[in-house]
């Protein structure tokens, strides 16, 4: 199966050896995204709602670069640094997945860049392309 790397325009360069997303067949695997601006600075320091919104906007940009939308997302994993921030994260997350949200796991964990409060990865599934064998 062919594998394609997705490189969205305007995103900060990855800080480690990974791709923003990889498409394999009809599946798109979006790497963990965080509240990073294109210059690498943290958006919304100390504010879980602003960080969750920027994180999901980065996922949106990445999905669009791969030809997908939030409607195609079937699974996410959310990492938060403090369980006390769970409700604030969920408040914003629910706006991006208002009906039929994807399957999800949420974990409390440290993140690789100090000051980040949330990281989210996603898996999207597209309809099969009838032109492809």
Q: What share of the chain is helix, strand, coil (3-state, %, to 5)?
A: 25, 30, 45
Provide the pLDDT for residue 16: 81
- Domain count of the chain? 1
pLDDT of residue 2: 81
What is this structure's pTM?
0.93
Answer yes or no: is 133 within a domain: no
Q: Dihedral of CA 120/39/117/45: which sign?
A: negative
Q: Report if residue 92 sits inside a domain.
A: yes
Binned at pLDDT 50, 70 and 90, residue 76 comes out as very high
The whole-angstrom separation of Cα 3 and Cα 115 is: 33
* pLDDT value for 11: 83
Enclosing domain of residue 62: 3-125
The reported pLDDT for the residue numbered 13 is 78
Identify whether the C-beta of residue 65 lies closer than 8 Å to the C-beta of residue 124.
no
């Amino acid at each position: 199966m062919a594998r394609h790397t997705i490189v969205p325009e305007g995103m900060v360069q990855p800080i480690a050896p990974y791709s923003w997303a990889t498409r394999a067949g009809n599946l798109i695997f979006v790497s963990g995204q965080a509240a990073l601006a294109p210059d690498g600075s943290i958006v919304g320091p100390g504010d879980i709602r602003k960080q969750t919104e920027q994180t999901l906007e980065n996922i949106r940009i990445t999905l669009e670069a791969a030809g997908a939308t939030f409607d195609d997302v079937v699974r996410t994993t959310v990492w938060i640094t403090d369980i006390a921030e769970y409700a604030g994260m969920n408040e914003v997350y629910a706006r991006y997945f208002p009906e039929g949200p994807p399957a999800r796991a949420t974990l409390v964990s440290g993140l690789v860049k100090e000051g980040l409060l949330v990281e989210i990865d996603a898996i999207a599934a597209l309809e099969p392309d009838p032109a492809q064998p």
